[in-house]
């Protein structure tokens, strides 16, 4: 009887609490398998230990303890993850902090040597330090930032914030925040084949951006109140400026630098500053690759110009490829121009002319094989920008520039009939990034993204096809037109009859599905001018309001 009682007692007894470490001393190590092996700052704001970044892949990292999903602020080995077994972080007797993989290979180290006793500690500032008996730092993580700057952390001429590769890929990405050679803080796209500055705007003088290159210190700092100051005269304050919130300045994976404040009650982050107050994400370089065009309404989306196709279906940064080879030989024969209204490609101007006609600008481009196209200002100034390369394209409704892409004449003839001046419900366009709301699940943005994906692909046919097929021989009054059949059932409130039963749509989702179907029907109108633009689609799906009834007379529904 005693043994069963003991077994029952221990089975309900809670597991022992995880006990964090306060320090490592010479000879100590942290094992990736041991859940107790992590450091914590004095007040518990930060933790430091092995952080899982993939399947059996770990990086030694620092994170905000109480933030949603343990937001990382520093990584030792972001580009060389270690195994989930037998990997160690060891403070050697010679004062060198060493990270080894399962096979003993040294993946990362501080390369430090010091006499006397050394300790590894995590400070309340988020700074991981090696300190001697005199409390002097012989190494600190603040000197080697990854993608985040913390309050009190000095940003120097040797410092660089490098973004993550994607939202869920922790490898070093292509976007940098650093002091450039002109002593000015820049946001830089540093891609596999090219590098370019996209902030501050490079088409104006440094002084017009409120900066100065005449400083030799190259130093910046974010203070505890949310104020940022730099030696190039760049400064800003958080919208919630003042003592209190935990903050971080992060070079995000999408190329935008953001200041965040932590809501400790929910663990969610709130954006409290972005460059220039409002950043059009399409001005970030490298987003849509060569020839690709970015449009922001209200989310950035990439598309290929007519006559071009996506180079990699999984990666927009690889851009678009032409249906025909664009070589000097092909361009030396009969060529023409594809016209793209309200569109421009940033930079790569190999010539410039003012107060000239489109015909003169066209002839300038035709005269050189190096010219890939030209931008022409349609505001009456007659500005002409022949370009040697077409990268970082963007489209805005109010952009007074028309782009002319030089291509073989045959390519123009085969594509002009398919080009639309407006971004309508098109399968050629795809959202390329998410909004930056962190924390919580099932947000309206996640749901909206799902719906947009269905509508853009016009998944209406997938959703309802089975129901249509099984009903056309029934009591539909001889209606065999799919669109008209859908419309009739939606108007009659028979959403369940329309939707494929295999989707298992719950009762509380019927209204949202009804909205989805109505928006989808508007997207397949025969008259393109009556189709909603992407911004309208986003608004409808975001709030799940029912759109206006489409005119069933004189349109595709007849």
Percent of the chain with pLDDT over 90: 49
DSSP string covering 211-243: --S--SS-EEEE-TTSEEEETTS-EEE-TT-SS
Res. 502: pLDDT tops 60: no
CA distance 108 to 80: 9
Cis amide leading into 446 (omega within 30): no
Instruction: List the CATH code of the domain at 24-144.
Output: 2.90.10.10
Cα angle for residues 551, 552, 553 (degrees, 5° grid): 90
CA distance 6 to 203: 77
Single pTM value for the model = 0.70
Domain 290-424 has CATH 3.50.4.10: yes
Three-state DSSP class for residue 157: coil
Poorest-pLDDT segment among 61-75, 372-386, 472-486, 507-521: 472-486
Tell me the CATH class for 149-279.
Answer: mainly beta
Strands 293-296 and 393-395: parallel
| In contact, 110 and 142? CB cutoff 8 Å | no
CA distance 385 to 353: 7
**pLDDT by residue (tens digit) across 371-411?**
999 999 999 999 999 999 999 999 998 899 999 999 888 77
Domain locations in the chain as residue ranges = 24-144, 149-279, 290-424, 444-543
CA distance 522 to 543: 17
Structural Rg of the chain based on CA atoms: 29
| In contact, 399 and 429? CB cutoff 8 Å | no
**pLDDT by residue (tens digit) across 244-271?**
999 999 999 999 999 999 999 999 999 9
CA distance 386 to 375: 6
149-279 and 290-424 have identical folds: no
């Amino acid at each position: 009887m005693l043994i069963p009682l003991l077994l029952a007692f221990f089975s309900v007894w809670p597991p022992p609490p995880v006990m964090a470490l306060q320090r490592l001393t010479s000879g100590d190590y942290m094992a990736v398998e041991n859940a107790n092996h992590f450091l914590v700052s004095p007040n518990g704001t930060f933790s430091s230990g092995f952080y899982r970044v993939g399947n059996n892949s770990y990086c030694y990292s620092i994170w905000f303890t109480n933030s949603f999903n343990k937001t990382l602020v520093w990584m030792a080995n972001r580009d060389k993850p270690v195994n989930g077994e037998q990997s160690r972080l060891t403070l050697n007797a010679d004062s060198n902090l060493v990270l080894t993989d399962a096979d003993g290979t040294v993946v990362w180290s501080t390369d430090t040597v010091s006499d006397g006793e050394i300790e590894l500690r995590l400070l309340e500032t988020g700074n991981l330090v090696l300190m001697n008996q005199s409390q002097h730092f012989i190494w600190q993580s603040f000197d080697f930032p990854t993608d985040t700057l913390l309050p009190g952390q000095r940003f120097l001429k040797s410092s660089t914030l490098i973004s993550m590769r994607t939202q869920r890929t922790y490898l070093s990405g292509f976007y940098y925040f650093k002091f450039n050679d002109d002593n000015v803080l820049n946001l830089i796209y540093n891609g596999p084949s090219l590098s370019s500055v996209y902030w501050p705007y490079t088409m104006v003088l440094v002084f017009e951006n409120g900066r100065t290159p005449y400083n030799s210190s190259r130093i910046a700092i974010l203070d505890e109140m949310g104020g940022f100051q730099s030696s190039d005269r760049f400064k800003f304050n958080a919208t919630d400026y003042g003592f209190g919130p935990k903050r971080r300045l992060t070079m995000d994976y999408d190329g935008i630098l953001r200041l965040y404040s932590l809501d400790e009650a929910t663990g969610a982050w709130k954006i409290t500053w972005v460059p220039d107050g409002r950043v059009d994400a399409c001005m970030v370089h490298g987003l849509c690759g060569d020839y690709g065009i970015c449009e922001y309404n209200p989310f950035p989306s990439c598309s290929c110009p007519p006559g071009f196709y996506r180079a990699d279906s999984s990666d927009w940064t690889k851009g678009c490829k032409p249906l025909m080879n664009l070589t000097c030989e092909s361009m030396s024969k009969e060529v023409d121009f594809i016209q793209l209204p309200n569109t421009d490609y940033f930079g790569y101007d190999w010539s410039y002319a003012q107060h000239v006609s489109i015909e003169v600008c066209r002839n300038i481009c035709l005269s050189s094989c190096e010219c890939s196209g030209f931008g022409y200002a349609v505001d009456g100034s007659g500005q002409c920008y022949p370009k040697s390369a077409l990268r970082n394209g963007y489209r805005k409704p109010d952009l007074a520039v028309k782009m002319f892409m030089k291509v073989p004449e045959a390519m123009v003839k085969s594509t002009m009939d398919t080009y639309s001046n407006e971004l309508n419900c098109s399968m050629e366009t795809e959202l390329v990034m998410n909004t930056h709301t962190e924390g919580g699940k099932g947000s309206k943005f996640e749901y909206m993204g799902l719906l947009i994906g269905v509508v853009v692909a016009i998944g209406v046919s997938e959703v309802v096809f089975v129901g249509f097929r099984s009903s056309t021989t029934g009591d539909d009054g001889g209606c065999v037109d799919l669109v008209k059949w859908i419309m009739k059932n939606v108007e009659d409130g028979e959403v369940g009859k329309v939707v494929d039963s295999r989707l298992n749509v719950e009762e509380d989702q019927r209204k949202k599905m009804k909205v989805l179907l109505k928006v989808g029907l508007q997207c397949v109108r025969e008259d393109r001018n009556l189709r909603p633009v992407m911004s309208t689609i986003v608004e409808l799906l975001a709030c799940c309001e029912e759109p206006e009834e489409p005119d069933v007379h004189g349109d595709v529904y007849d």
